[in-house]
Chains A and B, each alone.
Chain A
Amino acid sequence: MSDELKTVVELKPMRHKDVEAKVSAGKMEEWFYTDIVKEHFFNPRNLLRTESELKQFQADGYGSVGSAACGDKMDMWIKVKDDRIVGSLFKTFGCGSAIASTSMLTVMITENGGMKVDDALKIKPQDIVKRLGDLPQRKFHCSVLGDKALRQAINDYFRKTGQNEKIVVEGAQVIDMILKITDKDIEEAVLEGAHDFEAVQKKTKVGVQDKSCIPKVKELIKFYVEKYYG
């Protein structure tokens, strides 16, 4: 073989601080769905199909989160009687697990004569995941969105029935003063799979300019990782 193409061999290993493969002993990530998820995807319960259905339903509360641009949009309606959720309807733009999560949530809040409104507020995203028999980790945010839509619907019900003191508004707090990044943005980033500071920074650019917020950001990431994945 001729040697026109000279390559200089450096007998030094490459060292790059910023590229570290993270190998952990945890379980490998699965991406497929359980039979319960598929069942709810193919046969969604409490799906709102027509406008007239909605009129007939006479909702006491309505909540909507997300948008088509975000990749998920969930609309939920609830019917409350004697402080119990006796009916619920939903519509969802999103993947299989988003549709299944909202479908399952409507079942959870209406089964056995209906859940008490205060108890429905205690539902955590993890409870939906459990009822679905599990969700792939990166689909976890689907259950969070369902949960948020329900909270909005309940807030709407409180507002309509004059129980204003019960309304819980999740306010956002600005953490990064220069780029105006809030704790909600950090929560979103964690839910989208960024589980450490480097990953969250890559997604949000938090702390790139306002370095003083970094300790607070790290604290928040720890909090949200424990909240949703702990």
Chain B
Amino acid sequence: MKEIYLDNAATTYMDARVKNEMERYLGEEGVYGNPGSFNSIGLRAKRALDDARKRVATILGCNDSEVIFTGSGTESINIALQGIARANKNNKAKKNHIITSKVEHKAILETCEFLESEGYSVTYLDVDQYGLVSPEKLKSAITPETLLVTIMYANNEIGSVNNISALSKVCKESKVLFHTDACQAAGYLDINVKNLGVDLMTINGSKLYGPKGVGVLYVRTGVILKPIMFGGGQERGLRSGTENIAGIIGFAKALEIAEEEKPMEVRRLSELRDYLIKELTERVPKVMLNGHPTQRLCNNANISFIDVEGEAIMLMMNEIAGICASSGSACTSKTLDPSHVILATGRPYEVAHGSIRFTLGRSTTKEDIDKVIEVIPGIIERLREISPVNLKMEEVIA
């Protein structure tokens, strides 16, 4: 059975062009030297690293020195959040307040929770019914003690896109540092740091058809971070450890391809996404779209099917039609809690349990979407026959 991969927000395959480029850097014939070694083989590695950094900086619209290569998006976030906290631990201004939102990725939420245990106070901003943070709400949450604001660019579960430049403007006015987690945004939205007005930004390769295990942290010149791990002092001391040259080259290549193909890909995926949402909401009774109807990632369709449970839908569509998606149901999470994002948008538990996230990608075709549209109505009907639940839509509309 042909598998239909609609879980591109989880991770993407590596593009063949990226793989080809990376292969030139692997093996004895490749570029295996240590960029820190003072010899010709080390120098070749340093050149490759410098070149990749320049290519990334060009796309982000920043200086080379502002690009830090890390091991993942999660690592970038930890270096940023913990790094800023540590650099300001004993500051005279007693800035010990961090602001984030309730719908962030676990990498942000867990790091914030850890910082709370270290004595920082954290405000988790409420979001609107679409999962978006309002600049006004942010403004009123900022206090003289606020050190850092971290708000995601695009939500990984429901795809809603925050107005980052408006949020960063609020921070600039209050002289508060602003970090954005742009892991889902890269490849689909504008990631020019000047346009966005951010002080720090995280992106990673595994959502970009690049290699896994490579992330980037943009750090604006002048922002001071203390490292959270120690060693040889690579990447301005923020990410010690011998650089993953092939991975970094792959990341740069992946980012270039994504930028180059962005206009066409965004148009193509938006059409497929809208087609999927329209057909499913028309063909299946009692469904709801989670997230913003228009201000959303072009590849994200998150739909709740009332009266049935998400994991059961996933299992059935995977086994019957090879469709691979994901769910915000409690059953699919390790903690057995349903999606904190959907709950934060004000929708009840029943809606979160029945949510399915389809995230389209480079390999997604119209035929794939047609297959989804063809099999989902029957699957939902079958599961509703098994289910003792029969809610009225009024009961679940927030």
A residues in contact (CB < 8 Å) with B: 1-2, 4-11, 13-14, 16, 18-19, 33, 38, 41-42, 44, 47, 49, 64, 68-75, 91-99, 138-139, 141, 192-193
Distance, CA A95 to CA B311, complexed state (A): 5
Given contacts A5-B221, A7-B224, A69-B349, contact A94 B336 (CB under 8 A): no
Can you list 9 A-B contacts (CB < 8 A)?
A4-B222, A5-B236, A68-B349, A69-B349, A91-B386, A91-B387, A95-B329, A95-B331, A95-B332
Given contacts A69-B348, A193-B334, contact A93 B315 (CB under 8 A): no
Binds A, one of B173-181, B227-235, B251-259, B363-371: B227-235
Pick the contact of A44 from B230, B309, B338, B386 — CB < 8 Å? B386
Nearest CB in chain A to that of B224: its residue: A6
Distance, CA A14 to CA B85, complexed state (A): 14
Given contacts A7-B224, A7-B226, A68-B391, contact A193 B336 (CB under 8 A): yes
B74 to chain A, nearest CB (A): 15
Distance, CA A4 to CA B222, complexed state (A): 7
A-B pairs with lowest CB-CB distance, top 7: A91-B388, A95-B311, A95-B331, A7-B237, A69-B349, A71-B330, A93-B387
Contact digits for B333-358, partner A, Cβ 8 Å, 1 yes 0 no: 01110100000000011100100000
Give the interface centre of A68, A93, A138, A193 by most chain B CB atoms within 10 Å: A68
A13 touches B388 (CB 8 A): no
A92 touches B387 (CB 8 A): yes
B386 touches A92 (CB 8 A): yes
Nearest CB in chain A to that of B223: its residue: A5
Q: Does B114 contact A (CB under 8 A)?
A: yes
Distance, CA A1 to CA B67, complexed state (A): 12
B230 touches A71 (CB 8 A): no
Q: Does B307 contact A (CB under 8 A)?
A: yes
Contact digits for B352-392, partner A, Cβ 8 Å, 1 yes 0 no: 01000000000000000000000000000000011111010
Distance, CA A205 to CA B286, complexed state (A): 36
Q: Does B225 contact A (CB under 8 A)?
A: yes
Q: A71-B353, A93-B386 are in contact. List 13 more A-B contacts (CB 8 A).
A: A1-B64, A5-B65, A5-B66, A41-B316, A68-B353, A68-B391, A70-B349, A71-B330, A71-B331, A93-B388, A94-B309, A94-B331, A99-B386
Docked complex: B102-121 residues within 8 A CB-CB of A:
114, 117-118
B230 touches A96 (CB 8 A): no
A68 touches B224 (CB 8 A): no
Distance, CA A72 to CA B65, complexed state (A): 52
B286 to chain A, nearest CB (A): 12
Nearest CB in chain A to that of B348: its residue: A69
Give the interface centre of A7, A13, A64, A98 by most chain B CB atoms within 10 Å: A7
